[in-house]
Amino acid sequence: MDKIYSHKETEDRIYKFWEEKGFFKPEVNPKGKPYSIILPPPNANAPLHFGHAMYVIEDILIRYRRMKGDSALWLPGADHAGFETQFVFEKNLQKTGKSRFDYDRDTLYKMIWDFVQSNRPIMENQLKKLGFSLDWSRKKFTLDPDIISIVYKTFKKLHDDGLVYRGYRLVNYCTFDGTSFSDLEVIHKEKESSLYFVKYFFEKGGGNISVATTRPETIIADVAVAVNPKDKRYKDLKGKNVINPITNERLPIIFDSSVDMEFGTGALKITPGHDPKDFEIAQRNNLKGESLIGFDGKIKEGKYKGLYAKQAREKVAEDLEKEGLIEKIEKIIHQAPVCYKCQNIIEPLLMEQWFVKMEPLAKPAMEALKKGEIKISPKRLEKVLSDFLENIRDWNISRQIVWGIRIPAFKNKKTGGWVVTEGEAPTGGDWEQDTDTFDTWFSSSQWPFATLQTTKPDDFERFYPTDVMETGYDILRWWVARMIMMGLYKTGKIPFRDVVLHGMVNDPKGLKMSKSKGNVVDPLEIVNEYGADALRFALIFGTGLGNDQAASLPKFQNARNFANKLWNMARFIEMNRIQNSKLKIQNSPKNKVDKDIINKVQNLVKDVTKDLDNYNFNFAAEKVYEFAWHEFADKYIEDVKKRIDSNSYAVLESSYLAILKLLHPFMPFITEEIYQKLNLGESIMVEKWPSAK
């Protein structure tokens, strides 16, 4: 053995060895208790980022359970990541001077397909570099025909059960990305705007009421002015009308208790075509409105036609000012809805979309949570989940992009009626398929059962519900919540028993990594520099489950040093090896130090096993680290090196073997390499997890 451990000469070779031996398949323990984890499928198109490296937690669990004798399955996959991928693709397209509108649907889809297929191996190889013991013979892609078929069936079932409807609603539309989004894709950003106080004159009797708005350009689309019924200032306005300051149309004054009396003048212009709250108030009052702004972000008609909303705002304000219709202008800081991807303002627009009625789906999910059928670790995040489920709103699943699963809904060209199928076109009549695709999360929400139902016969029966769903807490609502709902809906069973959530990995200074800030650390560079084992160990060591951490170099260095320390313990053992000794540990060694170390190993095994069972990964890692380095190496080896004999050697080797096994889930490569170098057996992967008396 060399003086220094070389991960570069070891890791790829070991991974290949494992794969060839078939050790990643649950079939290595055919009689074991089934244990399963579905890997959150990374975006097929993009390289892994540091968040993906946190899936090491899943590998730790899988390797631990496999060594315990379970029939452990860790199922890999890739996500087509609809909008995300099309966004990246379009960015690339832009560089060549083209846009998506230069191609027809099929061509564009084919182009993105090829783009994704050529990038997909990158991500998969990176998962291998990290040492993940995934069963590659079962890998799935969200656009596999059998997966698509399941997604179709789910949609049809939801539709037949009245849980999917086509609604003409105000949706979150990004005019820059050209698609609508669900509420989760909309984020709020603090913005300073002007609050215009506009005079609306009464139709009769003179006088005016002042209405505060940040969006004067939408005045044209006003359908009413609303005040709070409790507002004493406006008591006498019942039955009165005002005149639209731009169009001079008559607008009724309505009373709605959701109007905030404290804000502005307490009078709110109602523009159902552009504001969600207005839309709701209008619905309650049987008023209908229209969107004045088109999908291109420009005013569709009238005097301001062709102007972008922002330009129109200034022009309208100017015109109103000229006519003396603006009472005053104030500065206001408010939370503006923006697109999570491009950060541009979301324009609420009225359009027809497919919605999933969520309340009936959320109820069983909440019950499963309350009954403890599904447990969340760390516990505090359960509240985030239950709050989301309790306040759930209908889910817009239509996306105006081509990259994804096209919605199997067909419109009759004559009648305009819709038919939902399991993918096939309806016969008879003239039908046109919806051009929209599903929100990516609609297919991912079905991932646990969709994968297991399409891998190998009996996989679903054997491995569903899965044992653990491990992912970042940032997609708790986007993904985990929806998986629970869809799993319960489609299979009648929870999709997983335990939800284990890891924190975010930030840059070395603790700031969020982002491409625009240019502070992204590539996990594969760390693997290259320090080894996958070091990366894995560092990510677990010293960070409580669900807490964020900084990807700081000293941590990786320390973990690398620890790997080297382990390596040199093995060298010591190899150099002091006592051949032909029977390697039997006496039940009660005479030497007190030998006796102590045996007891300490026993306690360590107990502690680490318990910590793993409780998802206290950092405790487990810290304990083995502390023991291996500062107890076993610093004290025991120092003591035994002066007096080594066949009895003490047996204690030395067996204690070390226990450490190797406890460490294997965390640092799989080096523990395997040492195990083989010391001729302890074929592979540490098929060793049994140590047990403590």
Partner RNA sequence: GGGCUCAUAGCUCAGUUGGUUAGAGCGUUACAUUGACAUUGUAAAGGUCAGAGGUUCGACUCCUCUUGGGCCCACCA
DSSP assignment string, 113-126: HHHHHHHHHHHHHH
Nearest CA among 179, 23, 148, 53 for reference residue 687? 23
Of 10 and 154, CB closest to RNA: 10
CB-CB contact of 72 with 136 (8 Å)? no
Nearest distance, CB of residue 614 and RNA, angstroms: 7
**Between 550 and 578, CB nearer to RNA:** 550
Min CB(377)–RNA separation in Å: 12
Q: Are 425 and 406 in contact (CB under 8 A)?
A: no
Nearer to RNA among residue 452 and residue 633 (C-beta): 633
Angle, CA of 11, 13 and 14, to the nearest 5°: 65
DSSP 609-621: HHHHHTT-HHHHH
Distance CA 503, CA 69 (A): 30
User: Between residues 236 and 262, which has the closer beta carbon with respect to RNA?
Assistant: 262
DSSP letter string, 589-645: -SSHHHHHHHHHHHHHHHHHHHHHHTT-HHHHHHHHHHIIIIIIIIIIIHHHTTT--
Specify the residue, 275 or 673, whose C-beta has the smaller distance to RNA: 275
Q: Of 91, 139, 95, 140, whose CA–CA distance to 112 is shortest?
A: 91
Rounded CA separation 558/548 (Å): 19
- On whether the CB atoms of residues 394 and 358 are closer than 8 A, the answer is yes
Under the phi-then-psi rule, with left for phi > 0, alpha for psi from -120 to 50, and beta for the rest, what region is 315?
Answer: alpha
Distance of CA 612 to the CA centre of its chain: 24
Kindly give, in sequence order, each residue whose CB lies less than 8 Å from that of residue 556, ignoring residues fewer than 6 positions away.
Answer: 526, 529, 530, 534, 535, 538
Closer residue to RNA (CB): 159 or 269: 269
Closer to RNA by Cβ: residue 320 or 569 = 569
DSSP character string of 237-250: GTT-EEE-TTT--E
The residue (of 33 and 641) whose beta carbon lies closer to RNA is 641
Answer whether the bond into residue 508 is a cis peptide, omega within 30°.
Answer: no
Q: Residue 600 CB, nearest distance to RNA (Å)? A: 15
Q: Taking the complex as a whole, how short is the minimal distance between the CB of residue 577 and RNA, in angstroms?
A: 12
Write down the H helix ranges in 492-616. Answer: 523-530, 532-540, 553-575, 592-613
3-state secondary structure of 141: strand
Looking at beta carbons only, is 421 or 576 nearer to RNA?
576
CB of 151 or CB of 563, closer to RNA: 563
For the bound state, the minimum distance from the C-beta of residue 160 to RNA, rounded and expressed in Å, comes to 29
Cβ neighbours for 618, distance < 8 A, ≥ 6 positions apart = 540, 541, 542, 543, 544, 545
CB of 381 to RNA, least distance (A): 7
Q: How far apart are CB 619 and RNA at their closest, in Å?
A: 5
The nearest distance, CB 500 to RNA, in angstroms, is 15
* DSSP label at residue 33: P
Nearest to 494 by CA among 503, 482, 485: 485
Nearer to RNA, 348 or 408 (CB): 348
Partner residues linked to 227 by β-bridges: 255, 267
Residue in 100, 94, 107 with CA at minimum distance from that of residue 179: 100
What value, to the nearest 5°, has the Cα angle with vertex 77 and ends 72 and 81? 150
Nearer to RNA among residue 420 and residue 481 (C-beta): 481
Compute the least distance from the CB of residue 47 to RNA, in Å: 22
- C-alpha dihedral, 518 to 520 to 526 to 529, nearest 10°: -10
Beta carbon of residue 567, minimum distance to RNA (angstroms, whole number): 8
Residues 477, 479, 480, CA angle at the centre, nearest 5°?
75
**Identity at 160, one-letter amino acid code:** D
CB nearer RNA, residue 136 or residue 629: 629
Question: Minimum distance between the CB of residue 527 and RNA, rounded to whole angstroms?
Answer: 15
Q: How far is the CB of 50 from RNA (least distance, A)?
A: 14
Question: 231 or 290, CB closer to RNA?
Answer: 231
> Smallest distance, Å, CB 167 to RNA?
17
Least Cβ distance, residue 151 to RNA (angstroms): 25
- Least separation in angstroms between CB 6 and RNA: 7
Least Å distance between CB 288 and RNA? 19
> And the tokens for 646?
């066949």
CA count, 13 A, side-chain hemisphere, 41: 29
Cα separation of 530 and 158, whole Å?
49
The token duo for 96 is 């060549």
Nearest CB to RNA, comparing residues 99 and 335: 335
Closest CB to RNA among residues 630, 643: 630
